[in-house]
Structure 1
Amino acid sequence: MLSVALGTLRARWVTFVGGFVALALGVGLLTVMGLTLAASLDAPTRAPERFAAAPVVVKGADTLRVPTPIGDRSQKLAEPRAVPPAAVAELERLGRVTPDRSFAVRARGGPGDLVGHPWSVATFAPYEIASGRAPRAADEVVVSGTWAKPGQRLRTQRGSVRVVGTVADRGIEHAVFYTDARAAQLQPRSVQLATDADATAVRNAVKNITGVRVLTGADRRYADPDPDRDREALTALNALFGTAGGVTAFVSVFVVASTFAFAVAQRRREFGLLRAAGATPGQLRRTVAAEALVVGVAASAAGCALGRYGAPRLVRWTVDGGLAPDWFATGDAVWPYCAAFSTGVLVALCGVVAASWRAGRTGPAEALREAAVDNRPMTWGRWLCGGVLLLAAAVLPFLGDPGGLLHRKSYVSRPMLLITAVALLAPALVRPLTRLLAWAPARLPGAVGLLVRENAAAAVRRTASVAAPVLVTVALAGSLLGATATLDAARAAENRARTTAAFVVTPSAGGFDGATLKSLRAVPGTEVSVTSASAVYVLEDGVALVRSEARAADPDALAATARLPLSAGRTTGLDDGSIIVNEEWERHTVGQRVRVWLGDGTRKTLRIAAVMTRGTGDNGVYVTPANAAGAAVDRVDVALADGADAAAVAAGLRRAVREDGGRVRTADQWIASTYPRTDRTTRLGFLLVLGIALLYTGISLVNTMVMATSDRVRELAALRLAGATRRQVLRLVGAEALTVAAVGALLGLLVTVLNLAAVGAALHVLHAPDALTLPWPALAATTAGCAALAVLAATATATATAAAAAAAATRTPHPSASASAQ
């Protein structure tokens, strides 16, 4: 059987090249995803940066730890605590103590992420004067980098200052160094400090003081800004590549299996001849399996080589796009090659099992009769599997938490189930869809429209196989982009309904200071609601420490500028001893008391004053400013008093924040700039996921179309013998390709609608706006691209085989004649 398989490979090389290309590309993509995923598992350990020269660093509490029956649970505090005064007193007895006071600085013409420090901590980086001198007066500063020069005056939200020196930029931050006395005025709190005392003596001195952490050696990096940024970046990359890998694996397995099954289905006449020559069903199956094994091994090896070539380029793209840190690179992991190779061989074998089993069961005469027309394209196995998957896709999403349907993993993975179900049921849908699409062309003068309808409807398996890549392409683009557009629109509508303020004022960086807030409140004709961002932590089910984003606001001012989506209670019922929660909380009944930890780790028991609906998941909790100590004011909502002039109020607000660098926008402008929140990183991530999948399916569409058209040499020859010109044949082939692409696009649109309907139902259950948003431009562009690829591939292949068709027509009867003769 191996010799027969090798002979068949030589004789039908076009068919097997199609399968080889599909499998090699699929394995290549799996290898690329595996290598990048393996590289995102471990982050390098960064050396200390800001305190590289400090012997010992002491930090206040920045992590909340709560004991549970299954061990401690921890969360990063929204508001780290300052080093306790008792600890500072103990450390001052041991040696010199240098507090690190960090605060946001906004300077006109400067970087947007300026950070202020006392000059005394510059020596720990170490920073050294590159030009000028150290600051000596309250209005003197030293800056890092070259964006300002000595002698230059800077206007900041904290007053005008003069640059008296610069230090080299160490790539850590954009720093502004004040005198120690001025820094203490601007930022009284110090969440960390450096000391030159012996580390053991420091630990002994603070061992009985709660909430103090001593950092030495490599641990001093935890005193740097965002010390876990590398690990957090890799966690995001891991999620991104995991999602992309899952989509890629599904698309590649789907396309490869479809391509191999189609390649076997094309050879039913050949199988019938072998059966007539005495081959047993088992021999036939073993032959097909041997062919698939040979192609699978060769294509998988080629795919691994492609993956080795492509992975570094994908990594470079993610780094250039800002998705990954500069140091991110592919490693030397071996398991991605093994996993991709074995998956490729397994998919190749599985792709031919069902088709070869069906071919082996048919008798010789039956196989020859079925060679021309698909009389029974749907087997009981396809009906059963397709029906079960369709039922599962319709029922499973609503068996659990409806909020889970709004998570990215859910709306990325759910279309795969629907695509598989619709693809299995496609042969039953192809004939009515084809007749519907070709109904009008079939009534036009000439035979092209009629032939398009009958050819596509008769060759159901061929039509379904060619439509499969289009189905995947349109369904993925429509489902992913439609789900994100629907959720973004729901969040925007939800926020629009919640915001009743006329203006929203936000700082350029950090938060507003007291003087600016006083000026904003003094603007006549306004009702001002000052809010700040914090967090609240609650232990649910006794084992899960859950963080909820919180906003701190005065309840009366909040009620005047916002309309919270309350299901129970009143906004004005909020006070220093209560909290407004949402229905996602384990306890969410008005009047109940909940034990929580505030943003700085303070443990309190608060009464539930009101309950909000869950919505899209952006409804956090509300507390009063007394329960959000240390949280910076990052938003001011302004409502107009009766009779107030909006233009005059806007001008007054702009004057109030001019020195602070704040921005005044109408509520609609603020919502438009804030929602949807699809930032550049998210867009690049979706581009990665969709780009890889759509590029692969596009190549597979061309590949499948070439396979399908090249197998119709005798059919095209019969048309030429019947009097059709070459131009008419090409027009027929192009029209058929266009019809098949339209069938695939309609099936993909069906998957998109079903997927978005589930998202809309979940939004309705969660009391959120449920207006579905179909990405028509993306759907139209994807469909047009698939149609163009299909027509070009079909007509190009038909042109290339025209000479073969003419030669075949003179020596081989048309298959329909052979079939009728049976």
Structure 2
Amino acid sequence: MLSLALHTLRSRKGAFAGAFAALLCAAALITACGVLLETGLRGHVAPERYAGAPIVVGADQQLHWTKHKKHKVKTKSKPLTERAWLAADVADRIAHVPGVTKVVPEVTFPAQTAHGKAQGHAWASAALTPFTLATGREPRADGEVVADARAGARPGDTITVLATAAPRTYRVVGVTAQTTPRQANLFFTEQEARRLAGRPGQVAAIGVFPASAAPAVRAALRGTPAELYTGRDRGSLEFADASKARVTLVSMGGALGGTSLLVAILVVVGTFTLTIEQRRRELALLRAVAATPRQVRKMIGREALLVGSGAGLVGAAGGLFVARWLRSLFVGHGVMPPNLGLVLSPFPMAAGLAATMLAAWAAARLSARSTVRIRPAEALAEAAIERRRPPVARTLAGLVVLAGHVTLLAVLRALDVEAAATPVTFLAVVLGAFAVALLGPVPARAATAVLAVPLRLSRVSGHLAAANGRAGTRRLASIITPLTLAVGMTCTILFAPATVADAATRQAREGVRAEHVLAGRVPGAAELGRLPGVRAVTAMVPTSIRVGEGKYAAQGVTPAGLTRTIDPGVRAGSLDRLGAGDVAVSTTAAGHMHARLGTELNVTLGDGTPLRARVAAIYGRGLGFGDVLLPYGVVAAHVDDPLPRQVLVAGGSADELRRAVARYPGVRMSPAAQAAGQRNSTEVNLVIMGLIIAFTAIAVVNTLAMATAERSREFALLRLVGTTKRQIRGMLRLETLSVTLTGVVLGTAIAVGTLSAYGAGMTGSARPAFPPLAYLGVVVGVAVLALLATAVPGRLALTVHPPEALGARED
């Protein structure tokens, strides 16, 4: 059977080209996801600012839990969302350790100039890189600064710096000879740097020299919250977002890889189904000459393994380039630090190859089940006449999968956390498409019956299209499946974020009472309250907190006059007295926290600081204002950047406000408040899931091209009985539009049902966001792809002379 499988592949290259292309894309996607996953698990960020310090001491940047379950003790860790700082006296303790020759404390804070973002430090910590002066001298007064080489400044220039307080103009007294690849740096006096950092009595890190002192320093710090960072671990302390990026890569790689594998199986099953459908006469002849079902299954399985191995090898190698391309996108969107390199090993490629071969073998065996079970005496008759009824087992399997799809929709309505809802959403779409694949002949026959009447308005082409639809429902079903998947998956990927974004924007718009909104890093919010006519000013700074193991989006808000600027839809309690020991929580967060009015919560702030807080209010507009509201002063003291991202101003003149903030770089008047839940861009998620869309588009093109290319004998017969080429092309267009319409209707139904369930859980409303122009673009895009995929092979098939086409072998 192996030799027969090889001969079949050589003689029917066109029939297996579509399966090869689908499997190649699947291998590339799975390999790329594996590289991302492995990078998240094993990747390291190279240090830049701390590259010259052999030992760096800093606070533990992980939050730890200990769970007792029966006789087991399990410890879990999650990266902090803000930088944890150390007490400054730790540096004095380290200085007395034997063998330590130099201790360099470090403070760091965000800064912004006309040239862009930078990080501020004290000049004494320049030795950690080390930075040296190219020109000028070190700063000696609080109004002086040393700029790094990328700033383009010269000694004597003045620059305005917006750090963590009101902007101030400094005189450049020196320029460094070095710069760091990822960040610009500004160096101030020790006193000024500590003032701008806003962390009295604390340091961000401590550089220790020499490297040989590491064991003694580690022993001296035992029992304290300080951690020792050496080698590549120094980068994880310097770049606080590195750990978050690694967690993101793990979740993205796992979710995208799993979705890719499910989509690949569905696409490959459809492709092999069409391939075997085109070989029915050949397989029937094998059964008629006494080939056993087991032999036929072995032959088909080996064909699939041969195709899968070849596609898997090429696709796995291509997956490395896809991974590099994804990395560049992540770096460009700030999801991944540029100095976090990809971890390349044979494991992702092996996983992509193995998954591809397994998917090919399983798809081929499933697709051939009904064919190999035919009795030899019935084989040729079965090949000549298509079954009108699908196999009972296939119908039952389709109903089971459909029930699974409905069950997932019910589960999705109960999920209100994005991390849990997103994978269920895409799994529901895939199951819906699986149900269409299994029950395909039923909707194909129904669509043919409904569309037969309008098709017959075209006397020749339409009549032929309707007749072909009635005679080839199994072929139509194989084509409808990828179209349904393409429409359903594309609409879900595009409109799921839009559904939440629209709800969040609506809640923010309905809940803002202030007449004016300032956006950007806004200093001097208190000064705005003294402008004429201003009734209340609310500064808002975003962060995230944890209650137990649950992570929640939170905002620090100015308590005074809060109800004059926002209305988050308070259901219980009041926001009038939001004190230092109080929090307000959304109804969704309260459900997860098992909290009621007056409940005492153990809150962990973004930098790991514990806080005991009482629930003072419960509100309904959690998407618009975040899961938790805390007093601004509590949050600002525990975030990397304490400046508010937006300020709401009730009353006052817009012109007065514009003049007041004109000296603040990057601050602008905004027409509406930004929803708290929409601070993270969805562009990366759309790009990543766009690979799935591209994969399904390739499947559509493959399937339609294969289905059209194999009809040369049919076209030749039509031409011999007097049908013109133009009429046959018209028939193809009408057939394609009919099948596309069916796929669009089914895919839209799956997407609407899934998005309604997703919206009901995430936003409380079952109304999904379906932007008309975007949806029209999806439909037009699918239709154009389908028409091109049939037009090109159709024209090629019509170039064959009719007698040659009828006399040609089926291969």
**How far apart in 2 are the matches of 1:239 and 1:533?**
23
1:575-594 → structure 2 map (5 Å cutoff): 575-582=579-586, 583-594=590-601
1:820 aligned residue: none
1:398-417 → structure 2 map (5 Å cutoff): 398-399=410-411, 401-404=414-417, 407-417=421-431
CA contact (8 A) 1:456 1:740 kept: no
Q: Pick closer, same or farther for the CA change 1:710–1:628 going to 2, 3 Å.
A: closer
Q: Pick closer, same or farther for the CA change 1:345–1:71 going to 2, 3 Å.
A: closer
**How far apart in 2 are the matches of 1:285 and 1:205?**
71
1:624 aligned residue: 631
Counterpart residue identity of residue 617, structure 2: A
1:123-202 → structure 2 map (5 Å cutoff): 123-146=127-150, 147-156=152-161, 157-167=166-176, 168-171=178-181, 173-187=183-197, 189=200, 190-192=202-204, 194=206
Decide which of 422, 434, 441 is 1:427's aligned counterpart.
441
Q: Pick closer, same or farther for the CA change 1:334–1:172 going to 2, 3 Å.
A: closer
CA contact (8 A) 1:2 1:287 kept: no
1:442 aligned residue: 456
**How far apart in 2 are the matches of 1:6 and 1:91?**
71
1:530 aligned residue: 539
Residue 528 of structure 2 corresponds to residue 520 of structure 1 = yes
Q: Percent identity at matched positions?
A: 28
Deviation at 1:418, TM superposition (A): 1.3
Decide which of 487, 504, 518 is 1:505's aligned counterpart.
518
Counterpart residue identity of residue 305, structure 1: V
Which whole-Å deviations, capped at 9, do the CAs of 1:636-662 have from their partners, x for residues lacking one? Answer: 543434xx5xxxx22222333333436
Q: Which stretch of structure 1 is more off in the superposition, 737-746 or 448-457?
A: 737-746
2:752 aligned residue: 753
Deviation at 1:726, TM superposition (A): 2.3
Decide which of 88, 102, 106 is 1:100's aligned counterpart.
106
Decide which of 238, 257, 261 is 2:250's aligned counterpart.
238
CA contact (8 A) 1:573 1:610 kept: no
Residue 286 of structure 2 corresponds to residue 269 of structure 1 = no
Q: Which stretch of structure 1 is more off in the superposition, 598-607 or 148-157?
A: 598-607
1:658-677 → structure 2 map (5 Å cutoff): 658-661=662-665, 663-668=667-672, 670-671=673-674, 676-677=678-679
SS of alignment partner, residue 123 of structure 1 = helix
SS of alignment partner, residue 416 of structure 2 = helix
**How far apart in 2 are the matches of 1:777 and 1:656?**
40
CA contact (8 A) 1:38 1:331 kept: yes
CA contact (8 A) 2:581 2:614 kept: yes
CA contact (8 A) 1:50 1:223 kept: no
CA contact (8 A) 1:293 1:345 kept: no
* Structure 2: 5+ residue stretches without partners: none
Q: Which stretch of structure 1 is more off in the superposition, 199-208 or 432-441?
A: 199-208
CA contact (8 A) 1:315 1:328 kept: no
1:787 aligned residue: 783
Decide which of 588, 592, 602 is 1:595's aligned counterpart.
602
**How far apart in 2 are the matches of 1:716 and 1:340?**
40
CA contact (8 A) 1:56 1:214 kept: no
Decide which of 488, 495, 517 is 1:475's aligned counterpart.
488
Q: Which stretch of structure 1 is more off in the superposition, 62-71 or 231-240?
A: 62-71
**How far apart in 1 are the matches of 2:660 and 2:801?**
81
1:351 aligned residue: 363
**How far apart in 2 are the matches of 1:404 and 1:195?**
41
Residue 313 of structure 2 corresponds to residue 301 of structure 1 = no
**How far apart in 1 are the matches of 2:609 and 2:379?**
78
1:806 aligned residue: 802
2:614 aligned residue: 607
Deviation at 1:772, TM superposition (A): 1.4
1:689 aligned residue: 689
Counterpart residue identity of residue 173, structure 1: Q
Decide which of 761, 767, 770 is 1:771's aligned counterpart.
767
Q: Which stretch of structure 1 is more off in the superposition, 217-226 or 178-187?
A: 217-226
Which whole-Å deviations, capped at 9, do the CAs of 1:648-687 have from their partners, x for residues lacking one? Answer: x22222333333436242452x438x885563xx424422
Deviation at 1:163, TM superposition (A): 0.8
Which whole-Å deviations, capped at 9, do the CAs of 1:733-782 have from their partners, x for residues lacking one? Answer: 2322232222222222222122112113224xx54x55311254444334
SS of alignment partner, residue 331 of structure 2 = coil
**Count of matched residue positions in the alignment of Structure 1 and Structure 2:** 780
1:14 aligned residue: 14
1:296-335 → structure 2 map (5 Å cutoff): 296-312=305-321, 314-316=323-325, 318-319=327-328, 322=331, 324-326=336-338, 333-335=345-347
1:68-83 → structure 2 map (5 Å cutoff): 68-69=67-68, 70-71=73-74, 83=86
**How far apart in 1 are the matches of 2:791 and 2:606?**
66
Residue 496 of structure 2 corresponds to residue 488 of structure 1 = no
Q: Pick closer, same or farther for the CA change 1:612–1:359 going to 2, 3 Å.
A: same
1:206-285 → structure 2 map (5 Å cutoff): 211=225, 213=226, 215=228, 217-218=230-231, 221=234, 225-227=238-240, 229=242, 231-275=243-287, 277-279=288-290, 283-285=292-294
Residue 395 of structure 2 corresponds to residue 392 of structure 1 = no
Decide which of 560, 565, 570 is 2:564's aligned counterpart.
560
CA contact (8 A) 1:713 1:808 kept: no
2:395 aligned residue: 383
Q: Pick closer, same or farther for the CA change 1:140–1:783 going to 2, 3 Å.
A: same
* Structure 1: 5+ residue stretches without partners: 540-544, 815-822
Which whole-Å deviations, capped at 9, do the CAs of 1:212-268 have from their partners, x for residues lacking one? Answer: x16464388269532552x43333233333333223222322122112122222333
Counterpart residue identity of residue 123, structure 1: A
Deviation at 1:561, TM superposition (A): 0.9
**How far apart in 2 are the matches of 1:318 and 1:729?**
47
CA contact (8 A) 1:490 1:616 kept: yes
Q: Which stretch of structure 1 is more off in the superposition, 137-146 or 433-442?
A: 433-442
**How far apart in 2 are the matches of 1:172 and 1:31?**
28
**How far apart in 2 are the matches of 1:791 and 1:703?**
12
**How far apart in 2 are the matches of 1:20 and 1:359?**
22
**How far apart in 1 are the matches of 2:632 and 2:497?**
34
CA contact (8 A) 1:16 1:263 kept: yes
**How far apart in 1 are the matches of 2:323 and 2:55?**
41
Q: Between Structure 1 and Structure 2, whose CA radius of gyration is higher?
A: 1
Counterpart residue identity of residue 699, structure 1: I
Q: Which stretch of structure 1 is more off in the superposition, 621-630 or 407-416?
A: 621-630
Counterpart residue identity of residue 446, structure 2: P
SS of alignment partner, residue 610 of structure 1 = strand
SS of alignment partner, residue 736 of structure 1 = helix
**How far apart in 2 are the matches of 1:657 and 1:361?**
79
Q: Pick closer, same or farther for the CA change 1:330–1:376 going to 2, 3 Å.
A: farther
Q: Pick closer, same or farther for the CA change 1:287–1:328 going to 2, 3 Å.
A: farther
CA contact (8 A) 2:316 2:352 kept: no
CA contact (8 A) 1:438 1:453 kept: yes
Decide which of 647, 650, 673 is 1:640's aligned counterpart.
650
2:46 aligned residue: 46
SS of alignment partner, residue 311 of structure 1 = helix
Counterpart residue identity of residue 585, structure 2: V
- Cα RMSD (Å) of the superposition? 3.6
Which whole-Å deviations, capped at 9, do the CAs of 1:8-57 have from their partners, x for residues lacking one? Answer: 5555443344444444444444444445544553213634x434445765
